[in-house]
Copies of this chain bind each other. A is one copy, B any other.
Amino acid sequence: MLKEERFDYILRKLQTDHKVLHTELSNDLQVSEDTVRRDLEVLAQNGLLIKVRGGAIPHSPNPFAFNERINIHEDDKRAIATKALSFLHNGQTIIMDGGTSTYALVKLFPPSLQLTVVTPSIPIAMQLMEHPGVEVILTGGRIFKSSQVTSGLDTIRMLEKLRADICFMGVCSLHTEVGVTGPDMDEAAVKNVMVQSANKVIALVTSDKMGTAEPYKVCNITAMDTIITDEAGVALAAPYRQLGINVI
């Protein structure tokens, strides 16, 4: 049996059963569970399903589209967010980029905090709607369903007119030479404007994103004032510190 036939079978079964199990598939397809595991691995990589312990579930109809990602490196992200809190003071205007790191940050906002937050992220806006002291401004534009942020010209135009105290940047790759990069052209353009509209830029980055690069450039690495990461070890941080960037 061809590997593609197995893929086909798995996806079809997933569509009818809304889940697949290693044990079942191993039996149905007459291959070992390891092979099934590997099959699910590649299907997951192509975004065709979501691997979970014991099998896989479909991508769309489950309510975890955004919340799944929040689980990855959850502790790291909370640690990063906690460090970031100390930069916030009453009365500031903050640009809050989309992404799970920034989402973790707004979840930690103490109730007494008084801020104006500008964001293209719908989950962040929803989270902050319940906060009594935060004025929320959502940038307009077309919604990217996968990342749940607005993007495009309208978003950029709203950000351009802004003067913020701090911009917290989320999911990006950092590289000392390549700079700050992202996986999507439009979002990279939006991030670029965010950087320009803020007096101070703070990147929230899990350590696995440091030293990596993606196709679309956001800005030079020197545009960052501070990088907050989960593991600010000397080895990882030194190259950035040499450029005058505060790494914590």
- A residues engaging B (CB < 8 A)? 2-5, 7-8, 11, 19, 21, 42, 45-48, 52-55, 57, 60-64, 67, 70-71, 74, 107, 122, 125-127, 129-130, 135-143, 145, 148, 150, 154-155, 158
The reply to whether B135 and A142 contact each other, CB–CB distance below 8 Å, is yes
Chain B residue numbers with a CB within 8 Å of A45 are 74
Q: What are the 9 A-B residue pairs with the smallest beta carbon separation, nearest first?
A: A140-B140, A136-B143, A46-B67, A139-B140, A140-B158, A129-B145, A137-B142, A4-B52, A4-B57
Question: How far apart sit A127 and B74, CA to CA, in the bound complex (Å)?
Answer: 26
> Shortest distance in angstroms between A37's beta carbon and chain B's nearest beta carbon?
15
Chain B residue numbers with a CB within 8 Å of A158 are 140, 154
Also in contact, A4 and B47, with CB within 8 A (given A138-B141, A141-B138):
no
Q: Which listed residue (B21, B122, B135) contacts A122, Cβ 8 A?
A: B122
Counting every copy of the chain, the complex holds 2
Question: How far apart sit A61 and B3, CA to CA, in the bound complex (Å)?
Answer: 16
The reply to whether A8 and B129 contact each other, CB–CB distance below 8 Å, is no
Chain B residue numbers with a CB within 8 Å of A142 are 135-137
Chain B residue numbers with a CB within 8 Å of A130 are 60-61, 63
Question: How far apart sit A60 and B133, CA to CA, in the bound complex (Å)?
Answer: 13
> Shortest distance in angstroms between A82's beta carbon and chain B's nearest beta carbon?
15
Chain B residue numbers with a CB within 8 Å of A139 are 140
The reply to whether A67 and B48 contact each other, CB–CB distance below 8 Å, is yes
Q: Which listed residue (B60, B62, B129) contacts A63, Cβ 8 A?
A: B129
With A8-B62, A8-B63, A140-B141 known, 10 other A-B pairs at CB within 8 A are A7-B64, A47-B107, A61-B130, A63-B130, A122-B122, A122-B138, A126-B126, A129-B148, A138-B141, A140-B158
The reply to whether B140 and A3 contact each other, CB–CB distance below 8 Å, is no
Chain B residue numbers with a CB within 8 Å of A145 are 129, 136
> Shortest distance in angstroms between A98's beta carbon and chain B's nearest beta carbon?
13
Q: Which B residue sits closest to A43, measured CB to CB?
A: B67
Q: Which listed residue (B19, B70, B125, B126) contacts A2, Cβ 8 A?
A: B19
